[in-house]
Amino acid sequence: MSINAIETQDRSHSPFGLITKGSVVGGVMGYAAKHMLPLSESEMDAEFKGAMAIIREQSNKAKASAIDIIRNIKDKTLAQDTFIKMVDVKADTPMKKAFSMKKVIQDAKLNKNDMIELKGIIATVNERAIDMFRRCEKGFKSAVKDKRVTPAYVACGAVLGFFVGLGQSVFRASSKNA
C-alpha cells in the first residue's frame, strides 16, 4: 500500500470562484438595496415634505371633486342625499361631528339596501383620494430613490459579498484539512 505524502489540490472548488460569486451576488444585492431601503431622514428634506403636501392637497381636491359630482346629481337617491347631508355637517369637535353624522343617518331612516349604497359611496369617495395619494407618493419616493448613487450601493454589496465568499472559502478549506 502506498501513501501519497503530497495532497493534490481540488481545482473544481477554487477559492477564487467562491469569492467572485460572492462579489457578484453582493453587487446585485447592493443594487436591489438601493431601491428597497426606506428613505432616510436626509432624503426626506423640505423639498420632499413640500411635494408630499402638494400631493395631499391634490388628493383632497380629487375627493372634493367626487363629492361635488354627487352633490350635482339632480335626482339623488336616499343614500346619496344622506351622504351629502353627512358631508355638510358642521361641528365644533370631531366627537360632536361623529354624533351629528350618526344622527343624520338615523333621521334618514335608511333601509338595508340604502345603507349598503351609502357605505359604497363613502368607500368610493375615500378610495379615490387615498388611491391617488398612494400612487403619487409611491412615484415620488421611487424618483427620490432613483437619485441615490448607484455605484456606492453596488460597491458596498460587492465588498460584503467578497468577504462572505472569502469566509466561505476559508471555512471550506479548513473543514477539508480537519
Residue 28 lies in a domain: no
How big is the CA angle at 155 (ends 151 and 157), to the nearest 5 degrees?
120
Residue 60 lies in a domain: yes
Residue 57 lies in a domain: yes
Cell of 178: 480537519
What is residue 176's predicted lDDT score, i.e. its pLDDT?
Answer: 67
pTM check: above 0.75: no
What is residue 115's predicted lDDT score, i.e. its pLDDT?
Answer: 83
Residue 156 lies in a domain: no
CA dihedral 169, 174, 176, 178 (to 10 degrees): -170
Segment 66-121, tens digit of pLDDT: 889 988 988 988 888 888 888 887 656 666 666 667 777 777 788 888 888 888 88
The DSSP output letter for 4 is -
What is residue 98's predicted lDDT score, i.e. its pLDDT?
Answer: 62
Residue 26 lies in a domain: no
Segment 132-145, tens digit of pLDDT: 899 999 999 999 99
Q: How many CB atoms lie within 10 A of CB 18?
A: 19
**Please, which pLDDT band fits residue 156 given cuts at 50, 70 and 90?**
very high
Residue 1 lies in a domain: no
Residue 5 lies in a domain: no
**Please, which pLDDT band fits residue 50 given cuts at 50, 70 and 90?**
very high
Residue 138 lies in a domain: yes
Q: Domain range holding 143?
A: 44-148
Please state, rounded to an integer, the average pLDDT across all residues of the chain. 83
In the chain, the number of structural domains is 1
